[in-house]
Structure 1
């Protein structure tokens, strides 16, 4: 008497020998949906639209329009943290980090406002005071640029300090940005600030906002306004890459080996003192909460701190370089990326671990070409797509197993998860597809562990319980005995589900493996030496 019964279907653990795989786990699991424990097929991708380029973004605009953006370079886009109708885009290949809005797209402007490169010139028709003249005040000036969004950049160097006579006029001459800088800023205004000398310090206070390059200053100190608030509002460095956003309204990117931070909810201000160097070249960034994980060519680093002016970087003590920028995935509680030994995770404990260590040997992992992995997080699972192919895998942390997939069609070159659509989108060279969005099903293949009996056994019957999706039967049962397929039976009638079906006399040996292919959903498979053993349990 012998019986095999499988009533839960799990993924693969390639590191484990076929005879040692857990009873519900698989040697092969391709295109299987195992979320509910039963064996189900995944749906085919659904065609969405034609789209060129090598990277893309789905912009869910505030006017209800969903706009597809594409670039011919590897770019990162993120919604503006304080103005929902704007979008920020960064790429190491861009001359400057970009911003656009619903009214001007596809035109882009520069994110951030540069400081003027020249100090203001000052003169006075009455002449400046000499040592013998009555002095009304000590004056020096700075000025800033203000872009079309009303965003103000850092100030110029100060003008020469002069002593101003009583009732005299000071003519302040400003220098507009050069044309190459002006164009991405949109129209520019100037804000002029004048020094006010106090008992202990000197502050530059607001004088006037103007569009003219000449201003005649006759104001008294008491008429001046606030102190210049944008002294540290440097623009992001040119070539900023890996743009991400955190829950505290900051944008973060990297440049060479520096992690760069914006002011919270002021994404055009990237103070130089908010740039945190690490000891290795950065590949990309991830985050959980307000903690940033810098994935580098050597070890990962974590950058922590609620106050952006008091951030600190610490090395995670694992030699796990990041092999693929697009493999970096932020889940809310952890960051995953493809390392040389497996899928690596840094979590809220600020430690790291190879989460696939119990699934792959290093050689097995390397054979997958982890440097090609593009990852997204969806439904509490890590979806890995191999760049330039139609294949990948799904890692389920709750089950600690893997399901492979092969979706056919053109090679995938980029992916993204859209929270507004709650969908993974796949990009080929010319088209966009929605993962699992079609009405058709992708045929699965699932092979059990190798069940071993000390003495040879004869299996006589099998039984499959399940149901076909859309009432379309598509199921093939194969039994391998001592590594040889001895029967391959297509189950084509719904009436063949839930009843014993005969096996040939050749189903006799020490080891048995069950393989199922098709789209019919399976709840349980039983193989036994007698009809009674596959009957419903009492």
Structure 2
């Protein structure tokens, strides 16, 4: 008779130790199992101090500047900040946008890296505000008397928009009063121009540099007249009808709601966010413009959102939804059939074709038209709740779902079970360009898997043998290097606790032939390929 393990897998806590599949573990801690071997996970390596940030909680690697090394952006005091890069190709300003730190914000490289760390050094409120009022139109003092005015006079109205240093244009002001004007062409009577008193720029962090003037004539469409500096208060409009430019594009380009959070990038240059029970979408490739007409309301408050290849998953305090469509104005929601609210916004992770988040009964995977609890065969509800899922923050790394909770880290690979790691973190960021997961540990930034090998523990299922048939007398452990520690139990009593120093056969102590229940545990920092015990040397391989 022989007990052998050579294709190691993780824990399935829901099952009794006797009923576990052959190579699943009662305990799998600090071990990397994707190779099928027992390979120790490596501890995170401290790479940078965050001593100047109070209670750091969110991390983002700003990819521009610093000779290609970029800069760390950090936020503290428990804030959950979501950061996205500009959706514009070759953005000259290297802009990023974020929510979770007061009203939604943005900045270019000169703003973000101003001053000394911690960064961002400065920022602007996302979106362009309305002018404080509409413009006021009046006739010039030299206007010809009523009887001398041309029959080609037109009734006109004006609006003003504001434009930032980044070229972002806001929604138009209220329209001016209606006034008559005519083109000052050859032979026209004097005074066809219109004098405009321009509205002032509202206070706030907006970096407004330009006022843009539009005029509507008989067609009722506002068309471009001129750009003037933000400080300009008066303008004389002598632009002819033929010289008018493009139509006003920004009629519905509202500022995002000040409560916006959960900022997420979607394909096609669209940004998404939410507040309360309302999902918000930006204009495509215009991250400052968030039309109210694009908002969608749900029956429950939104907790988190995540983009997948099939659309946007909206996780709420009730059931999740899939929101999909070809453009922001054509998005529609579909409720997914799983009664699992999202317990932690920071637990929601984009896994590619689906997202995973922490629900009441376990981890919920949602993608396409399907959603289900993917850990239903791993944890009971009580076992899952003991991990305090509402405290979880999670990341996708190496095809696995890494969730940090109060007390450690859980690694879930669909179909493989779970492992637990003695690693704590208050936040993290996966840098896809570097292929590295960075963690916030205390007041430092650490790189996942770049430190020393951790001491792992892997304990087998409970093997049941008929009394009298389990006269195990010898064993063998195959490892890349030695020593490794092997512990053997029989009927709950420790049979052996030894340092195995070579691949050679070793002997077990006698006296346990009548024992029924056998368990093997191995610990160490060296990779192990297999372990086995047998009743005779001829059975060992």
* Fold shared, TM-score > 0.5 on shorter chain: yes
Where 1:371 maps in the other structure, the secondary structure is helix
Q: Do the aligned residues in 2 keep the contact of 1:115 with 1:154 (CA within 8 Å)?
A: yes
Per-residue Cα deviation, 1:479-516 (whole angstroms, up to 9, x for no partner): 0101222110112x3xx22x210011133311110000
Where 2:268 maps in the other structure, the secondary structure is coil
Q: Within 2, Cα distance between the matches of 1:290 and 1:366? A: 30
Q: CA deviation at 1:125?
A: 2.2
Q: Do the aligned residues in 1 keep the contact of 2:270 with 2:328 (CA within 8 Å)?
A: no
- Please name the residue that 1:116 is paired with: 131
- Determine whether 1:81 maps to 2:78: no
Superposition CA RMSD, Å: 1.7
- Determine whether 1:405 maps to 2:421: yes
Matches of residues 11-410 of structure 1 in structure 2 within 5 Å? Answer: 11-51=10-50, 52=53, 53-61=56-64, 63-72=67-76, 73-82=79-88, 83=91, 85-91=94-100, 93-94=101-102, 96-105=103-112, 106-126=121-141, 134-135=150-151, 136-164=153-181, 167=190, 168-180=192-204, 184-198=205-219, 202-211=220-229, 212-289=232-309, 291-348=311-368, 350-386=369-405, 388-389=406-407, 391-397=408-414, 399-407=415-423
- Determine whether 1:425 maps to 2:438: yes
Q: Are residues 131 and 428 of structure 1, via their aligned partners in 2, closer, same or farther at CA, if it must alter by over 3 Å?
A: farther
Q: Do the aligned residues in 2 keep the contact of 1:453 with 1:510 (CA within 8 Å)?
A: yes
Q: Do the aligned residues in 1 keep the contact of 2:138 with 2:179 (CA within 8 Å)?
A: no
* Count of residue pairs brought into register by the alignment: 510
Q: CA deviation at 1:429?
A: 3.4
Q: Do the aligned residues in 2 keep the contact of 1:28 with 1:447 (CA within 8 Å)?
A: yes
Per-residue Cα deviation, 1:311-353 (whole angstroms, up to 9, x for no partner): 11121122101001100001220011000001001112x1111
Per-residue Cα deviation, 1:190-232 (whole angstroms, up to 9, x for no partner): 110000213xxx1000000011221101222111011011111
Q: Are residues 21 and 160 of structure 1, via their aligned partners in 2, closer, same or farther at CA, if it must alter by over 3 Å?
A: same
- Unaligned segments of structure 2, at least 5 residues: 113-120, 183-188
More moved, 142-151 vs 371-380 = 371-380
Q: Do the aligned residues in 2 keep the contact of 1:290 with 1:305 (CA within 8 Å)?
A: no
Q: Which has the higher strand share?
A: 1
Where 1:118 maps in the other structure, the secondary structure is coil
Q: Within 2, Cα distance between the matches of 1:74 and 1:308? A: 25
Q: Within 1, Cα distance between the matches of 2:82 and 2:123? A: 14
Q: Do the aligned residues in 2 keep the contact of 1:342 with 1:355 (CA within 8 Å)?
A: yes
* TM-score computed with the length of structure 2 as normaliser: 0.91
Q: Do the aligned residues in 2 keep the contact of 1:278 with 1:301 (CA within 8 Å)?
A: no
Q: Within 1, Cα distance between the matches of 2:386 and 2:453? A: 28
Q: Within 2, Cα distance between the matches of 1:510 and 1:216? A: 99
Q: Are residues 206 and 531 of structure 1, via their aligned partners in 2, closer, same or farther at CA, if it must alter by over 3 Å?
A: same
- Please name the residue that 1:481 is paired with: 490
More moved, 337-346 vs 79-88 = 79-88
Q: Do the aligned residues in 2 keep the contact of 1:458 with 1:529 (CA within 8 Å)?
A: yes
Matches of residues 448-467 of structure 1 in structure 2 within 5 Å? Answer: 448-456=460-468, 457-467=470-480
Q: CA deviation at 1:428?
A: 2.5
Q: Do the aligned residues in 2 keep the contact of 1:273 with 1:309 (CA within 8 Å)?
A: yes
- Unaligned segments of structure 1, at least 5 residues: none
Q: Within 1, Cα distance between the matches of 2:276 and 2:200? A: 31
- Please name the residue that 2:531 is paired with: 525
Per-residue Cα deviation, 1:47-72 (whole angstroms, up to 9, x for no partner): 01111222221112155132111113
- Determine whether 1:510 maps to 2:516: yes
- Determine whether 1:437 maps to 2:450: yes
Q: Within 1, Cα distance between the matches of 2:459 and 2:292? A: 56
Q: Within 2, Cα distance between the matches of 1:483 and 1:143? A: 82
Q: Within 1, Cα distance between the matches of 2:176 and 2:310? A: 40
Q: CA deviation at 1:247?
A: 2.4
